[in-house]
Amino acid sequence: MSPASPTTTVPAVPDLTSYRAVHRAIRQGAHRLAIATGEMVASDTARVKAVRRYWQGYAGEVLAHHTVEDTVFFPALAARLPSMTELFEQLDAEHHQLDEHMAEIVATLGSLDRVGGPSRAARALSALAATMDAHLDLEDEFVLPTFVDLFTVEEYLAMEQQAIEQIGIGRQAAFTVPFVLSAAGADADTMLATAPLPFRVLHSLTKRRHARLSAMAFGPLTPLAPVATFAAASTEAVAS
């Protein structure tokens, strides 16, 4: 949600709050979808529709996130730290592996309203959630800290600006902005306060609709539960 507005204090080192919040939202989203499909029935037409709609927004955000990593963030890091080339090759391969999981999920969601459809979707979503967790563990531990070590605040803000311009303020942002902020917990207020005006406006226009879609797809599950809670619950939902 950065770069910071002119009225905010510029931090001494790059602020990775938004990057980490995107990762948190992506982790939670996969687990929540696995839980939802694990507990729903194929005849629940409203929920089938809500899960499919949520998936479209979720998948679009994952694709956008991987694209800005592959075209903006990772090439910039690789240029400064050639010793990380092998890690970036692995992360790139994992992006492709995640694409394959996601293509499989699209197929299972097509038959979500048929007998056995929800459990097939739950298995595919649970596999995605596990692969996603491992991928993001790697990035959170080994990639994100290097932005702080290797880039100035201005350089990092310029990369964030490039990423924002790639995603734009369109249909995908109308899902992504409330999706990320609803999973940001205690960071949400700061992220909103430092976000450019168009994002703040978009959030106020979309947050209620997003909350309604989440409630329809997921029921009473709170988006602020720790990721570990969702991970345990999604494993349980698929096993039962």
Nearer to Fe ion, 69 or 133 (CB): 69
CB 230 → Fe ion: shortest distance, Å? 18
We find the least distance from the C-beta atom of residue 56 to Fe ion, in angstroms, to be 20
Q: State the residues that interact with Fe ion by CB under 5 A.
A: 69, 139
Distance CA 136, CA 62 (A): 12
Residue 132 in contact with residue 30, Cβ under 8 Å? yes
The one-letter code for the residue type at 72 is V
Q: Which is nearer to Fe ion, 61 or 69 (CB)?
A: 69
Task: Report the C-alpha gap between 70 and 236 in whole angstroms.
Answer: 34
Rg, C-alpha atoms of the chain: 18
**Nearest distance, CB of residue 69 and Fe ion, angstroms:** 5
Residue 137 or 189: which CB sits closer to Fe ion?
A: 137
Q: Report the candidate in 65, 60, 68, 59 with the shortest Cα–Cα distance to residue 21.
A: 65
- Residue nearer to Fe ion on the CB measure, 144 or 158: 144
Length of the chain: 240
N-term to C-term CA, the chain:
38
What six digits make up the tokens of 170?
């369109």
CA atoms within 13 A on the CB side of 24: 23
As a whole number of angstroms, the distance between CA 84 and CA 238 comes to 36
Counts for the chain of helices (H) and strands (E), in that order: 11, 0
Between CA 138 and CA 141 the distance in angstroms is 5
CA 108, distance to chain mean position in Å, is 20
Minimum CB distance to Fe ion, residue 194 (Å): 20
**Smallest gap, in angstroms, from Cβ of residue 113 to Fe ion?**
32
Question: Could you tell me the smallest distance in angstroms from the CB atom of residue 23 to Fe ion?
Answer: 6
User: Please, what is the minimum distance in Å from the beta carbon of residue 135 to Fe ion?
Assistant: 6
